[in-house]
């Protein structure tokens, strides 16, 4: 539901928050209707699939409308606030149109880069921003996140041109326009096919997928990333079935097109069943893990190691006074030393350029389980930090993760990930690579076990280490060498000191 007061101003929409995020939930409004806001003043706190973010408004003036109650989930491009530009009487001057904006309620609406907006199932083109409006706004959306200024020119379609363009028909949430030759041209009279972000359009283009053939499941037929990924999976599955059918019968099968809207849906829910929306952090994790499995030819190797020496070294370090050193900090220090010896694993694959990109710096991600789900904070320049510095940074990021205060910058840009799943009481795992990285080191629980030490059977502290790696960046020899070096450092910490 929108809260509005009379007045005309600049509508500010939910910006692209980066990293492919397509929606956010309103957690807390920071302004009320009638408040005077300055340029780049935060107006709302939202929660994305990655972090809590305060969204600054690039316009200064009086807030004349708010869109969405706290707890409402909005797609990127949906209206957030309307600001009467300027201050004083000019800013608060009433004008027609705000009541219409308020009646739109909390409806989710998304705008394309052309400025097109959709309200009540009808398409319209946003008016060009006046010179005074441009002067009042900063052009920023999220300060410090590399946003750019709003486009200076926007195409305006007049009613007479709209009628002359061609007959438009809306079918199942899609808009089709008759082209010059009577065919179907992508887009409507108001712009291209509505998609939630340029990343979705790029994904479709890379896979030769015609967006005009999709039925968007978003508001007003908006095509979401899930719609494109569903179509790609359906196409791949259909291709596999067709090949199998043709191999068995010698004839190509006749199939009907499928889409998210036309796919078979389960009948009435059975008693005792429950459905949980795959969104937010859980949805983001699902998308990233699926992409990793789909794109990365991974392999896993593992080894058991005697961690008694590492545990004794940590005890001795902490007994000397000063800051207590965490176990994960020591494992991180071992990781960075191993990556210095085997830099092939501190890399990613650029599939478009068909190149392996190797990084000089190690930005170490680590898996952290929170009430909101699994997140991967990033320790910047981990290779340049000592054990005490790593301990402090791990503690800071972990606390921020549990409180939901991590910024997008603290959750992106990792080059290698350390996953300590031993905290869950398990011995081993085959971790899925944190796309688009090339490898992940997994560490199981450290537990007392019988172990042959110096020719005699003894009870030692044993840990299982696993390395999942992208087989495109290296062969098994490199991966095995990396893991063996890590195990040697765990068993004999002096090995690490000799190589520093």
Higher pLDDT, 307 or 177: 307
Query: What gap in Å lies between CA 91 and CA 63, rounded to an integer?
Result: 9
pLDDT band at 187 (very low <50, low <70, confident <90, very high): very low
Count CB neighbours of 226 within 10 A.
19
Question: Once rounded to an integer, what is the mean pLDDT over residues 5-32?
Answer: 77
Q: Which of 113, 106, 31 is nearest to 68 (CA)?
A: 106
Contact in structure between 486 and 499 (CB atoms under 8 Å): no
- What pLDDT sits at residue 199? 67
Q: Would you say residue 367 has pLDDT above 70?
A: yes
pLDDT band at 174 (very low <50, low <70, confident <90, very high): very low
Query: What gap in Å lies between CA 280 and CA 189, rounded to an integer?
Result: 33
Do 2-136 and 281-499 show the same overall fold? no
The token pair that represents 331 in the structure block: 């494992």
pLDDT band at 336 (very low <50, low <70, confident <90, very high): very high
Which top CATH class is 2-136?
Answer: mainly beta
Query: What gap in Å lies between CA 259 and CA 216, rounded to an integer?
Result: 9
Question: Once rounded to an integer, what is the mean pLDDT over residues 30-45?
Answer: 90
Higher pLDDT, 306 or 158: 306
| Range from 131-140, 195-204, 425-434 carrying the lowest mean pLDDT | 131-140
Q: Which of 401, 402, 418 is nearest to 410 (CA)?
A: 401
Query: What gap in Å lies between CA 237 and CA 208, rounded to an integer?
Result: 16
- Sign of torsion over alpha carbons 453, 456, 460, 462: positive
Secondary structure of residue 108 in the 3-state scheme: coil
CATH number for the segment(s) 281-499: 3.30.559.10
- What pLDDT sits at residue 231? 85
Q: Would you say residue 497 has pLDDT above 60?
A: yes
**pTM: predicted TM-score of the whole model, two decimal places:** 0.54
Q: Would you say residue 377 has pLDDT above 50?
A: yes
pLDDT tens sequence across 247-282: 666 655 544 444 444 444 444 555 678 888 887 777
CATH number for the segment(s) 158-258: 4.10.320.10
pLDDT band at 157 (very low <50, low <70, confident <90, very high): very low
- What pLDDT sits at residue 261? 45
Query: What gap in Å lies between CA 177 and CA 160, rounded to an integer?
Result: 16
**Cis peptide upstream of residue 436 (ω within 30 degrees of 0):** yes
Q: Would you say residue 102 has pLDDT above 60?
A: no
Question: Once rounded to an integer, what is the mean pLDDT over residues 203-226?
Answer: 80
pLDDT band at 331 (very low <50, low <70, confident <90, very high): very high
Higher pLDDT, 143 or 80: 80
- If you write DSSP's letter for every residue of 360-406 in order, what string do you get? SS--EEE-EEETTEEE--EETTGGG--HHHHHHHHHHHHHHHHTT--
pLDDT tens sequence across 442-466: 999 999 999 999 999 999 999 999 9
Contact in structure between 414 and 378 (CB atoms under 8 Å): yes
Secondary structure of residue 269 in the 3-state scheme: coil
Helix (H) or strand (E) holding 1, with range, is none
- Domain extents in the chain: 2-136, 158-258, 281-499
Cα angle: 30, vertex 35, 36; to 5 degrees: 110
Among 88-97, 204-213, 319-328, 347-356, top mean pLDDT goes to 347-356
pLDDT tens sequence across 460-489: 999 999 999 999 999 999 999 999 999 999
| Average pLDDT value for the chain | 75
Higher pLDDT, 243 or 278: 278
Query: What gap in Å lies between CA 221 and CA 215, rounded to an integer?
Result: 6
Helix (H) or strand (E) holding 115, with range, is none
* Residues known to be catalytic: 471, 475
Higher pLDDT, 373 or 95: 373
């Amino acid at each position: 539901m929108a809260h509005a007061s009379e007045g005309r101003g600049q509508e500010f929409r939910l910006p692209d928050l980066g990293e492919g995020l397509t929606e956010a939930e309103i957690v807390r409004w920071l302004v009320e209707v009638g408040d005077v806001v300055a340029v780049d003043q935060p107006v709302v706190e939202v929660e994305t699939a990655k972090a809590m973010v305060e969204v600054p408004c690039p316009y200064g003036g009086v807030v004349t409308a708010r869109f969405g109650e706290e707890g409402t989930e909005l797609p990127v491009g949906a209206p957030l606030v309307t600001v009467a530009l300027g201050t004083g009487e000019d800013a608060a001057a009433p004008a027609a149109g705000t009541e219409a904006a308020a009646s739109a309620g909390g409806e989710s609406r998304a705008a394309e880069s052309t400025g097109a907006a959709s309200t009540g199932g009808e398409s319209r083109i946003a008016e060009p921003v006046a010179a005074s409006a441009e002067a009042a706004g900063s052009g920023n959306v999220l300060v410090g996140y590399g946003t750019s200024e709003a486009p200076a020119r926007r195409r305006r379609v007049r009613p007479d041109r709209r009628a002359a363009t061609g007959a438009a028909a809306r079918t199942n949430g899609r808009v089709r326009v008759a082209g010059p030759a009577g065919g179907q041209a992508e887009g409507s009279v108001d712009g291209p096919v509505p998609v939630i972000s340029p990343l979705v359009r790029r994904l479709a283009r890379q896979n030769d997928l015609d967006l005009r053939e999709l039925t968007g499941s978003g508001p007003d037929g908006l095509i979401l990333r899930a719609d494109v990924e569903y179509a790609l999976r359906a196409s791949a599955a259909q291709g596999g079935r067709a090949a199998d059918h043709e191999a068995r019968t010698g004839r190509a099968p006749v199939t009907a097109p499928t889409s998210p809207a036309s796919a078979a849906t389960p009948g009435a829910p059975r008693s005792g069943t429950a459905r949980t929306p795959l969104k937010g952090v859980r949805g983001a994790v699902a998308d990233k893990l699926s992409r990793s499995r789909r794109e990365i030819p991974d392999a896993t190797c593992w080894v058991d190691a005697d961690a008694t020496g590492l545990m004794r070294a940590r005890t001795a370090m902490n007994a000397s006074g000063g800051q207590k050193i965490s176990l994960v900090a020591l494992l991180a220090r071992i990781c960075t030393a191993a990556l210095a010896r085997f830099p092939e694993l501190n890399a990613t694959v650029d599939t478009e350029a068909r190149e392996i990109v190797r990084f000089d710096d190690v930005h170490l991600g680590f898996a952290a389980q929170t009430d909101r789900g699994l997140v991967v904070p990033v320790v910047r320049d981990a290779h340049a930090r000592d054990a005490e510095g790593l301990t402090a940074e791990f503690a800071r990021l972990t606390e921020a993760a549990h409180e939901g205060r991590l910024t997008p910058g603290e959750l992106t840009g990792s080059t290698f990930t350390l996953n300590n799943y031993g905290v869950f009481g398990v011995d081993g795992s085959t971790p899925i690579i944190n796309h688009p990285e090339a490898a992940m080191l997994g560490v199981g629980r450290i537990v007392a076990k019988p172990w042959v030490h110096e020719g005699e059977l003894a009870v030692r502290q044993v840990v299982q280490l696993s390395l999942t790696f992208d087989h495109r960046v290296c062969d098994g020899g490199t991966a095995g060498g990396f893991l063996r070096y890590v195990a040697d450092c765990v068993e004999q910490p002096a090995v690490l000191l000799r190589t520093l």
